[in-house]
Structures are given as C-alpha cells and as structure tokens.
Amino acid sequence: MAVLVRISSICNRGFSPLLFRSASLIRPLVAHKKDQDHSYLLAAKVYTTPAHYDGSVSKAASLHWTGERLVSVILLSMGPIAYFYPGGVMDYSLAAALTLHGHWGLGQVVTDYVHGDTKVKLAKAGLFILSTVTFAGLCYFNYHDVGICKAVAVLWSK
C-alpha cells in the first residue's frame, strides 16, 4: 500500500518549502496488485501542486464556494417555510435568493463555455442585466400581484 504525503499539508503546519513554490511536482505512485497467482506493480504519476499560490485569491474563491452552498441550503429550507408562512418577507427573500442562485449558476456556465476577453465581458454584462431584470421582475410581481408563495400555491391547487 502506497502512502502519499502532500507537501501542502506540511506547509500548513508552519514549514515553508525551499523549492517548488509555484511549480507542479510529479510524484510516482506504485501499488501492488495480486491477480490469482501473479503479483503486479502498477505505476502512475500523480501531479500535485501547492494548495495556494496567493492567500487572498484562494480565500476569496473558498468564501464564494461557501456562499454558493449556503444559498443552496437556504433555498432548500425556504420551500417548506414559504408553504407554511407565506407573506411579503418570504416573497422578497425568495426573489433575492432565487436571483442570486441563478446568477451564480449562469456565471459558471459563462466561465466554462465562453472564451475570449471581449466575449467574456459581453457575456458577463448580459448576465448582470439578466439578473437585474429578473430580480426587478420578481419584486414587481410580489408588489403588484399575489407574490411568489401564493402564485405557487395557486398553480399547485389546479
């Protein structure tokens, strides 16, 4: 059984590496496999990179990821709460959470599938406009009509 020690785990304990601060490290991984009567040596290369290049960038990405998960969990809990306690506060909270969740989700689609500086800037501007119009539309619907909670209840009752 092969044991692999990550350099980043050592770095986090107060030791700072002298070499390979920004370069990827290639470490061999060898494992034994027994097939009936024969024993094999399987070899593979494992690419490890330092866990962090710049503390502020990785911290911001980590906080963004945590925020996305938090909004997802909040949306899951808002469903039953909206069913049992419909009202203006819940309608506007749903409008904000749904818009933010959709904005972050479509932002990942833009990041994954849109390439080129100009296209990325146009796509992000379009996404910002779409999210703004979505939030404004949901707020308009909440203010001038029955609201999100009662609209879903009416749809389910028919």
The first and second tokens of residue 25, run together, are 């490290």
Q: Is 101 annotated as a binding residue?
A: yes
Place of tokens 């379009």: 126
pLDDT in single tens digits along all 158 residues of the chain = 333 444 444 444 454 444 444 444 445 555 556 666 666 666 655 555 555 455 566 788 888 889 899 999 999 999 899 989 999 999 999 999 999 999 999 999 999 999 999 999 999 999 999 999 999 999 999 999 999 999 998 888 87
Per-residue pLDDT at 62: 85
pLDDT at 58: 76
Instruction: Tell me the three state secondary structure of residue 15.
Output: coil
| Residues 95, 139 contacting (CB under 8 angstroms) | yes
What element of type H or E holds 101? helix 88-113
For residue 10, what pLDDT is reported? 45
Query: N- to C-terminal Cα distance for the chain?
Result: 61
In CATH terms, the fold of domain 64-157 is: 3 helical TM bundles of succinate and fumarate reductases (1.20.1300)
What's residue 60's pLDDT? 82
Question: Is the Cβ–Cβ distance between 12 and 55 less than 8 Å?
Answer: no
Instruction: Report the candidate in 68, 123, 137, 131 with the shortest Cα–Cα distance to residue 99.
Output: 131
Where exactly are the structural domains of the chain?
Answer: 64-157
The pLDDT assigned to 30 comes to 56
Residues 6+ away with beta carbon under 8 Å from 11: 17, 50, 51
Ligand-binding annotation for 92, yes or no, is: no
Total residues found in the chain within this entry: 158
What residues does 48 pair with on adjacent strands? 25
Is the pTM value of this prediction over 0.85? no
Can you give the pLDDT at residue 59? 82
Cα separation, 26 vs 75, in Å, equals 42
